[in-house]
Structure 1
Amino acid sequence: MRSENEPTGQKPRSFIEEARRAQIVASAVEVIAEAGFAQASLARIAKHAGISKGVISYHFAGKEELMEEVVNRVYKQAADHVLAEMEKVEGARGLLRTYVIANAAHMRGHRAQIIALGQIFMNLRTADGKPRYGVHTSEEIYRALESIFQLGQRTGEFRDFDLRVMAVSLAAAMDSMFVYWAAYPEHDLEAHANELADLFERACKK
């Protein structure tokens, strides 16, 4: 029999609870994107969602936990889309190109999320005042990219190079692409992504 509680010891959330949390996160994204991190109070987010502040407090311990949930959900949605696209291709070059293009294609319809993430990354701090997010929280992304590069080196598609240097460089280039597009929405994100994919294909190939 399955335990009543999850492995973490927390009782599994109901469909209604999950739907409410998703609603709160969506409103948080919109408020942060429109008003900025500092102005995105729980009261303002609650008003946007059409609920009371108490409802948010029931689901989240505070603003910090809500901001972390925003980041987790945005990344998961993007990852689900990108992985689904990557499953359709073979070879390291195809995986590399799809990773870049699919990320851009997904975020093309979620500009508010990009803006909200930027605000959270710049402003959210830990209890000791250090940034909550940054290079130190990007290890999973670096390792995923390294696995693509390593595959290419193993199959002979890619030249020999430092996996971590290339992974950090690609992650930074993609971050810059999204930051620029968020600031200039008229910028052709699709064309930028294709140029970026071309650039790293040339950098990696023998």
Structure 2
Amino acid sequence: MRSENEPSGQNPRSFIEEARRAQIVCSAVAVIAEAGFAKASLARIAEHAGISKGVISYHFAGKDELMEEVVRHTYQGAVAHVAARMEGLTTATELVRTHILAAAEYMRGHRDQLKTLGEIFNNLREADGAPRFGINGNEKLYELLERLYRLGQAGGEFRAFDPRVMAVTHQAALDTMFAYWVANPGHDLDAHARELADLVERACRA
């Protein structure tokens, strides 16, 4: 993505440029959440943003790069929120529970972003047809969760188990929880998250 691979020596983007990119990302989220990935053309996104298609092309090389920026922007916001909730916690049990509850808390206020992520993950492809964001794209999340579970085992809070298996299971449960909520908006996301946190805690407890 251009946002992470600026040519050496290039001046950083101005505040106005960053604001315009953020506006385009927000419009992309809104259009994809309403119309779906296939119908979210750059022209339609530009119309929603009240700008010309050329403005989008100035900031992004194409639809693929814009979609990557939508994913990066969404995860950046979620990670910042969850990290703030976890700050100052010391026990692995608190950290694991808070990771689940804080993720649900953030996504409850960003349903369109969550719906858009699902559309992008299911539709954005590499040249060979492989998903651009496959399961291995979660590796950093798995590593973080593994560290939390190893912390609990080292401190005697958690029983012996394979931390990687638990990390993958933890993230899969979150992803499924969010997918179910997107498909069923009346579902109580917070209650689901609390129940999931209880299940994980009981499964890990020494």
Partner of 1:63: 63
| Gapped regions of structure 1 (runs ≥ 5) | 1-5
Report the Cα offset of residue 68 of structure 1. 0.2
SS in structure 2 of the partner of residue 51 of structure 1: coil
Partner of 2:3: none
User: Which shows bigger deviation, 39-48 or 86-95?
Assistant: 86-95
- In structure 1, C-alpha distance between the alignment counterparts of 2:179 and 2:10, rounded to whole Å: 37
1:45-124 equivalent positions in 2, closer than 5 A = 45-124=45-124
**TM-score between the two structures when normalised by the length of structure 1:** 0.95
**Residues 185 and 88 of structure 1: is their aligned pair in 2 closer, same or farther, counting only changes over 3 Å?**
farther
- In structure 1, C-alpha distance between the alignment counterparts of 2:49 and 2:88, rounded to whole Å: 37
**Residues 87 and 12 of structure 1: is their aligned pair in 2 closer, same or farther, counting only changes over 3 Å?**
same
Partner of 1:13: 13
**TM-score between the two structures when normalised by the length of structure 2:** 0.95
Deviations 1:8-33 (A, max 9, x none): 55431111111110000000001000
1:3-42 equivalent positions in 2, closer than 5 A = 8-42=8-42
Report the Cα offset of residue 131 of structure 1. 0.4
1:173-192 equivalent positions in 2, closer than 5 A = 173-192=173-192
**Residues 126 and 9 of structure 1: is their aligned pair in 2 closer, same or farther, counting only changes over 3 Å?**
farther
Deviations 1:34-73 (A, max 9, x none): 0000000000000000100000000000000000000000
- In structure 2, C-alpha distance between the alignment counterparts of 1:155 and 1:71, rounded to whole Å: 35
Matching residue's letter, 2:104: A
User: Which shows bigger deviation, 85-94 or 116-125?
Assistant: 85-94
Identity %: 66
Aligned residue pairs, count: 202
Matching residue's letter, 2:90: E
- In structure 2, C-alpha distance between the alignment counterparts of 1:9 and 1:105, rounded to whole Å: 40
Partner of 2:199: 199
- In structure 2, C-alpha distance between the alignment counterparts of 1:101 and 1:40, rounded to whole Å: 32
| Gapped regions of structure 2 (runs ≥ 5) | 1-5
Partner of 1:146: 146
- In structure 1, C-alpha distance between the alignment counterparts of 2:134 and 2:101, rounded to whole Å: 23
